[in-house]
A and B are shown apart, each in its own frame.
Chain A
Amino acid sequence: MKKSLLTIALLSAIYGIAAPLTALAKDVNLLNVSYDPTRELYQDFNKAFAAFWKTKTGDNVIVKTSHGGSGKQARAIIDGLDADVATLALAYDVDQLQEKAKLIPKDWQTRLQHNSSPYTSTIVFLVRKGNPKGIKDWDDLTKSGVSVITPNPKTSGGARWNYLAAWAYAQKHDGGDETKTKEFIGKLFKNVPVLDTGARGSTTTFVERGIGDVLLAWENEAFLAQKELGVGKFEIVVPSLSILAEPPVTVVDKFAKKHGNEAVAKAYLEYLYTEEGQEIAAKNYYRPTLASVAKKYDAQFPKVNLVKIDEEFGGWQAAQKKHFSDGGTFDQIYQK
């Protein structure tokens, strides 16, 4: 039914009279645009935050989430998907919100602790029970007959972490010889039969469709697959070297302001850093950054030799330009 001015005026008048007589509680809608494998994390977190916010302010916060490949999600926000907060897979995708659309300030990464990454993760291998192909490290992925599942680095943040972890391993083993490293990556991608657009799609390919011998996965995604999607069917293999993945979060200032959600959006992200928020992250197999919670869940996460994006690749801007921009190393290798 169409709203009319008269209707609006009437409702406004009624509300204006009735408002003081009722509780000041209001419904607040918040949109979190996130990357692929965070569905379970934010399902749990949103419930906890809603309860927290209700206690604190009396308002009912309803958090909606959108999931997809991190790069695609960033583009969607730039194109007008009015997210109040963005919780993406890597800092480069969040940078795009500033560079392409000026939706957030340049210093967005300094607004929260740990470079605005409340939790971390890394890249591990998920193999089928018994590890029939005997996969132990990155060089096993280049062998003939090994089928590797990873999403497309052009669209997936997780895939870019996979790619860079493999690159870092090859560099270490090839003494920094970039030509050999490219050959290594080339062989690895020749073993990839299908490229999904996001990490969750690759999990579906490997777990549900039964394709491939090994899935290059977020650690949290690998745990989820092993413990909840296919109990007893998979094993996690931790390579000798991987990469410290730091998924960042930010308030999308322009849209949050437009919706009048600045305060609740900020609180939502800050709640990720609280003990309760960190517990939820850890239970969903993300590595917590709060020391007390990290200690509590220390046994859950295997010890891995982790390289850092800033130290190994000069930060995400440089890594993106060299490897994933049009004509970058991925294009050179994958088009061969």
Chain B
Amino acid sequence: MEPLRTKPNSKPQRRDDVTYHVIDDEALIYDPDRGATHRLNSTARFIWENCDGSASCQTIAEKLTHVWNASPQQARIDVVGAVGSMVDNGLLSVGSDR
């Protein structure tokens, strides 16, 4: 069973007090509270950039499917996994419609 925070209808919201740097296809996030640096590959970067608090994981997965030509199942796995990891690292908060 998936954790509650990464359900398809979860709406992840980026923290706005971290710094985000795009560098080529990747991105680095610096969290000043934890003194931690996070490296995002191009897929994780796409997911992060769509975590604006209005789009659900399902919606982000659908975008990922179109943009990256990924299978819906793979896109959903990627989004849920990446969002879960970012939540665990304190970079995202999540809400849902239900």
Q: Do A and B come from one complex?
A: no
Q: Which residues of A contact B (CB under 8 A)?
A: none
